[in-house]
Amino acid sequence: MCRAKITIILIIPVLAITLAGCGVRDKKHPLFKPQRHTISSEGDTYSILLAVLSNPVNHVRDADYYKKVLTEKLGWKDVFVVHKEGYSTVFWGHYRTWKEAQPNLRIAKAYRAANGSAVFAKAIIVPLPGKDIGPNEWNLKNVNASYSLLVAVFRDDPKRNYFGRKRFAVQYCRRLRKAGYEAYFYHSPVASHVTIGAFGPESISIKEGPKGKILEIKDPRIKALQHDFPYLAVNGAGMNEIVYDPKTRKEIRIPVKTYLIRIPHGKNRDQSNDTLP
């Protein structure tokens, strides 16, 4: 089964920012002057995802340390952290639109720590973490089952002026359900996923083969869905996996197929890579 890695995770060593000096440049320089921003109560709002800290033991401490340094030493206002099971995320600001967040995103990317490292080089604009959009009964993490078929992924793409991934995922769920499919959505911190079906552990089996584990699908409903939805869609378009052919010495683009994922069961983390086997 073909798999695609679609998670964006920023894992940054907390020691990259040091209290001694902090690598702070002249705060009077316009590049390092944080922009004013407001919180909107209507529609999607955005924030800047600075870091995802996944140390299972120290992620809470590390994230709180980030907030302290950025707030007290750099003067960045509205830095906040969100602690979840197994990881913490560090955000900066609340913005009505992605354009409103752009000036502070440039500041984050341009920042250099005392050792010269670009600590937030991979910072991105994401929808503000909070209440999920969409009916609870369509939310995959509320489904009492083991597996579901991932058919689509939506991600905000600033370069293409593509925003509203949560809304798009729910809309796609609605269209699929009108067409008779048991569709669900799942919002992770950086992407929204759409799956179809809810299957128990008896629907598959995993066996050891000569080249590793082999997934065997026992439930004919899964095979029928794979027939109806053979390829994974990302922001409404197909996604290719690039492989190298040693015979022709050329790269080959292979469409990524839809695949089973384990249902997150209430965990607010990105499960899109939790594929089988």
Q: Is the pLDDT assigned to residue 51 strictly greater than 80?
A: yes
Domain shared by 106 and 142, yes or no: no
**What contacts 112, CB < 8 A, 6 or more positions away?**
23, 25, 118, 119
> 52 - beta bridge partners?
89
Whether the ω angle into residue 127 lies within 30 degrees of 0, i.e. cis, is no
270 CB-side CA count, 13 A: 20
Domain shared by 90 and 161, yes or no: no
pLDDT class for 96, splitting at 50, 70, 90? confident
Among 127, 162, 189, which residue terminates a domain?
127
Q: Is 101 a member of any domain?
A: yes
pLDDT for the residue numbered 28: 37
Q: Is 8 a member of any domain?
A: no
The CA-atom distances, in angstroms, between 194 and each of 16, 69, 112, 167, 210 are 36, 38, 38, 11, 33
What is the 8-class DSSP label of residue 85?
Answer: T
179 CB-side CA count, 13 A: 11
CA distance 219 to 55: 38
CA distance 95 to 102: 10
Say which residue, 229 or 115, is predicted with more confidence: 229
pLDDT for the residue numbered 238: 83
Among 79, 107, 127, which residue terminates a domain?
127
Q: Is 242 a member of any domain?
A: yes
Domain shared by 153 and 88, yes or no: no
Q: Is 7 a member of any domain?
A: no
Backbone angles phi, psi at 24, to 5 degrees: -80, 125
Averaged pLDDT for residues 145-154: 96
Q: Is the pLDDT assigned to residue 277 strictly greater than 90?
A: no
pTM over 0.85: no
**Cβ atoms 155, 190 nearer than 8 A:** yes
pLDDT for the residue numbered 234: 93
**What contacts 62, CB < 8 A, 6 or more positions away?**
14, 53, 55, 88
pLDDT for the residue numbered 41: 39
Q: What's the structural domain count of the chain?
A: 2
Domain shared by 181 and 243, yes or no: yes
The helix/strand/coil state of 176 is helix
User: Mind listing the pLDDT tens digit for each residue in 202-260?
Assistant: 999 988 878 778 889 999 999 999 999 999 999 988 888 887 778 887 888 888 999 99
Q: Is the pLDDT assigned to residue 22 strictly greater than 80?
A: no
pLDDT for the residue numbered 3: 42
CA distance 8 to 270: 9
Q: Is 228 a member of any domain?
A: yes
- Give the structural domain span for 169: 136-262
Among 127, 150, 182, which residue terminates a domain?
127
Average pLDDT of the chain? Answer: 79
Q: Is the pLDDT assigned to residue 140 strictly greater than 70?
A: yes
| Number of Cβ atoms within 10 Å of the Cβ of 146 | 17
User: Mind listing the pLDDT tens digit for each residue in 155-204?
Assistant: 877 667 677 788 899 999 999 999 999 999 999 877 899 999 999 999 99
Q: Is 145 a member of any domain?
A: yes
